[in-house]
Amino acid sequence: MIENIAQNLPTIVLVGRANVGKSTLFNTLIEEHKALVSDIAGTTRTNNEGVIIWRGKEIHVIDTGGFDNDENESFADEIIDQDERALDRADIIVMVSDVKTGVLPQEKELARDLKKKYKKTKIFLVGNKVDSKKVELNLGEKEWQGLGLGYPIPLSATNGRGIGDFLDILYT
């Protein structure tokens, strides 16, 4: 049903490695506890879809499954392959990262591959888990600029900090 409603709406797709908080952000955005959230990597197996309403406008949002691994192996290919169908439909791609763990080298690869493959799509970077002002300072670290997606949009998917500003950026 969401698919029918959402067909003509602009679509944003949340991507990123496991456990960064994509599903938590999805639930906050749609204001429902629809997606399963846990601290176990690989919680989301199938995409979640919903509709956000912001300033009287609707936007379709897709939460995708993330990948992670203990070794220094690449996970960019897995993420892009698995999420390809959603990414192909995206008007905006939001790459979600975790400010508490910082940027992994593989995320640099993911950002690079997304930019290469989705040249015409707007891509934003979110620094999630910025639960307080103090944590926001971590975003000043050089590693964040190294992703080449501009200054990360700071927000907290759990307590809602920065969500309004984030939505304003998406809608402009």
**Based on CB atoms, which residue is closest to ligand GTP, 47 or 145?**
47
Tell me which residues in 29-58 interact with Mg ion (CB under 5 A): 43-44
Measuring CA to CA, which residue among 9, 3, 5, 2 is closest to residue 92? 9
Tell me which residues in 124-153 interact with ligand GTP (CB under 6 A): 128-129, 131
Q: How many residues bind ligand GTP (CB under 6 A)?
A: 22
**Based on CB atoms, which residue is closest to ligand GTP, 7 or 94?**
94
**Based on CB atoms, which residue is closest to Mg ion, 68 or 113?**
68
Shortest gap between Cβ of 16 and Mg ion (angstroms)? 9
**Does 42 contact ligand GTP by CB under 6 A?**
yes
Measuring CA to CA, which residue among 12, 10, 13, 16 is closest to residue 127? 16
| Cβ-contact 129, 154 below 8 angstroms | no
Query: What is the pattern of x (binds ligand GTP, CB under 6 A) and - over residues 72-111?
Result: ----------------------------------------
Shortest gap between Cβ of 16 and ligand GTP (angstroms)? 6
**Does 37 contact ligand GTP by CB under 6 A?**
yes
Shortest gap between Cβ of 124 and ligand GTP (angstroms)? 16
**Does 28 contact Mg ion by CB under 5 A?**
no
